[in-house]
Amino acid sequence: MQSYNSFEVAQAQVTAAAKLLNLDRATLDLLLWPQREFTFTLPVRMDNGETRVLHAYRVQHNFARGPAKGGIRFHPDETLDTIRALAGWMTWKTAVANLPLGGSKGGVVCDPRKMSERELERTARAYVRALWPHIGADRDVPAPDVYTNPQTMAWMMDEYETITNRHQPGVMSNKPLALGGSEGRRSATARGGVVVVREACRACGIDPRGDYAIQGFGSNGQRAAILHQEILGGGRLVAASDSSGAVYNPEGMNPIELRNHKLRTGSVNGFSGSEPIDPAEVLELDLAVLYPAALENAVNVGNAERVRARVLCELANGPTTPQADQVLFAKGIHVIPDILANAGGVAASHLEMVQNRSGDYWGEAAVFARLDDTMTRAYHAVHGASRERGIHPRLGAMLVAVARVAQACKLRGWV
């Protein structure tokens, strides 16, 4: 399979949208590159007494619409170009959702699977000590990402408050509820994806109560499997895959029971009433809705012709390659691109930031109602741009996002 430099792909997407918008060269150059980048080393003491020097990054892509927002990942294969790409996509994701935020991303090159909880805590606190002057509720608000979680954010928030000697829960998002987190945040990414699937099915005349499948039955995939039936009033989960295999039942599987089986055994394999299939086959089933919720480049030129879902909702980041996009568009498959499909997470994080600022915390129902409204508006902005221009939805989403950020840059007098 062809490999991709994520940052080059992200820049190509911006360039394509800028061409349709007739943006001037200075504006395009501003949007192609991050406004700030930090590369630093973290000396972290291990439990055996040795000190390991870890490499770390924070990229702040754009501040025109508000403070930057983006996750921090702990991963052994992290690169600056990956972080650059993800920071840019966060800018476009927040703009598509029409949130008053910019985009950022961070990472530490380490293998958290081989680190103790105390070593992870020291790493989290070291990251904040290196970066604290450049983050904050009015500057840049980190969140969990790959191999980080609400507990990581709790450590980071505490380190920031210790350094600044001020109570500032809004410096981090997706925190534990006891430390200023928001009701409804855990399911927000999947919920937002299912909401836009609902709107896509309405717009395209597709019955969402047909067959659907989850490629990547992790936390977001599990929640989407359950919420699909709850929000859309039905549907039959016929297949699901994870890193260990895939299961299939043409008569349907109970998503709650499948989730419980996965939590109990660590795999979808062996689920009662199902048969094992090759994980690649999940992408090629005849479906109403397919949720790619695992790795990037899952749908590529090697299998795009065999994809038969009517709607493809990208809960994962970058699951469809640029060439596959064109194939799916020609086949009439309605792709809901990642910067729209999984924007529910950052939309809920913004609601958490608002609650932290005001000190007024809402119940789950209020959060879900606001999230539904945000995602519904976002879908129709993208769908309208795509239909008006006759372009595939990914370019439509970029068109909406780039236009909004470019306007903010121009109004500020930056270009």
Residues labelled as active-site residues: 105
Angle CA 291–289–239, to nearest 5: 65
Q: Residue 77 has what DSSP assignment?
A: T
Start-to-end CA span in the chain (Å)? 40
Q: Which helix (H) or strand (E) holds 212?
A: strand 211-215
385 touches 399 (CB < 8 A): yes
Query: Quick count: other Cβ atoms within 10 Å of Cβ 262?
Result: 21
Partnered with residue 109 across adjacent β-strands are 75
What letter represents residue 215's amino acid?
Answer: Q
What letter represents residue 218's amino acid?
Answer: G
Helix (H, G, I), strand (E, B) or coil at 70: strand
384 Cβ contact list (under 8 Å, min separation 6): none
Pairing of strands 140-144, 334-336: unpaired
**In whole angstroms, how far apart are CA 43 and each of 52, 84, 110, 158?**
6, 23, 12, 19
**In whole angstroms, how far apart are CA 44 and each of 77, 148, 207, 245, 302?**
18, 17, 53, 37, 43
